[in-house]
Chains A and B, each alone.
Chain A
């Protein structure tokens, strides 16, 4: 498991769990950008094909987080993998549903449910 101020990343089998640890304002922020690039590098170097975004520690997020998810999703799809989201707050779910991201990936209430949804 690796942890920075902004993301906690953990590999479990062929799945990478990415947990944002605080509200991400903008990928223009140097520190956030640097940490996000590290997450992408971890994905590139790990032998995983699936990603679960776990929002347990982030009550809300905006379009920067959505952008980040899409960037990673494109890499996941390049490996024929799956992606799922879990533990989003009421406000987080609102942002995801407004963006219709619930049509791209399953929104689940736990990591186990996310794993099950990806493998169903």
Chain B
């Protein structure tokens, strides 16, 4: 049976809202008199929906929306607003409220709003359950030399890594930084063959080459190949360019005081720090980066890892 929590400090309003809901006969209603009490109830058992008044002691409706949607993102919250609180309703929607119903149209609109929100919520939960069954996904991209594509691809792969349960928010950022570094290297140093030393010696020429070479042969026909195998146990990311490659083992240590003020040379260091494994091929034009969840982070799964699909044997 669908369960709904009604949160209001006014007993009369609780009865009003509860009465409207109980008329449907198919919903189990429970009551709380403020946000704190509602969260305590949610901790014991999650409802399918929360309907809350805006103004309450201890924890008001807006605070409840924020706290509940952060802790229980799959439980929708509907806010009941009084006259003159439209701006707060907008604020509540920004904080994650599923919808709001003005108190003056409660009798006419509450049931319809509840039904719509429950329907959407059911779809969302099914989708989340389905994704919970996802054990592995593979992605392959072929990019032209357009720097604008890099942030979009990084964000996409970060989202997918989060979706399969590979990473927390903090790990998501580390994956993003490492991917970004690998892609920028593939584009600028790989396909466009612009050496990082030029940034120190002639920044203007460096910028000019970055601007011009994507449209000039042979650079213009080169592509960046990106593949990712993602599972809750491991993310494997392959980035390959069509440039001449470089010697990743010959990079100067950017943290050596003698190199500290050189403009370039930190990308590979960040990749190596933020990923669990980084492997270059012998030509230095392909890198495979492996990311595993931190201890206790990933969900239990019998999934196989992902990195075995990418050849990481050449060098590391």
Contacts and interface: CB of A to CB of B under 8 A. Distances in A.
Contacts of B23: none
Nearest to A99: B266
A116 interface: no
Nearest to A70: B263
A104 B267 contact: no
A26 B147 contact: yes
B-side interface mostly: helix
A90 B207 CA distance: 31
A29 B148 contact: yes
Given A25-B154, A28-B210, A91 B147 contact: no
Contacts of A33: 207, 210-211
Contacts of B176: 23, 60
Contact of B273 (A23, A28, A61, A98): A98
A37 B204 CA distance: 10
Contacts of A111: none
A95 B177 contact: yes
A28 B269 contact: no
B180 A62 contact: yes
Interface in A43-68: 59-64, 66-67
Nearest to B262: A70
B147 A30 contact: yes
Interface stretch (B13-21, B118-126, B181-189): B181-189
A31 B146 CA distance: 12
A62 B260 contact: no
B197 interface: no
A-side interface mostly: helix
A26 B189 CA distance: 12
B211 A71 contact: no
Contact of A25 (B147, B254, B255): B147
A30 B211 contact: yes
A62 B173 contact: no
Interface string B73-106: 0000000000000000000000000000000000
B177 A71 contact: no
Given A73-B261, A98-B269, A103-B260, A91 B180 contact: no
Interface in B262-284: 262-264, 266-267, 269-270, 273
A119 interface: no
Interface in A1-53: 23, 25-31, 33, 37
A28 B270 contact: no
B255 A100 contact: yes
A25 B151 contact: yes
Of A26, A33, A61, which is in contact with the most chain B CB atoms at under 10 Å from its CB? A26
A104 B181 CA distance: 22
B222 interface: no
Contacts of A26: 147, 150, 180, 184, 187-188
Contacts of A74: 261
B196 to A, nearest CB: 9
B127 interface: no
4 closest A-B pairs by CB = A63-B266, A29-B147, A28-B147, A63-B267
Given A59-B173, A70-B263, A71-B199, 10 more contacts: A25-B184, A27-B207, A29-B148, A30-B211, A67-B263, A67-B266, A95-B270, A98-B269, A98-B273, A99-B254
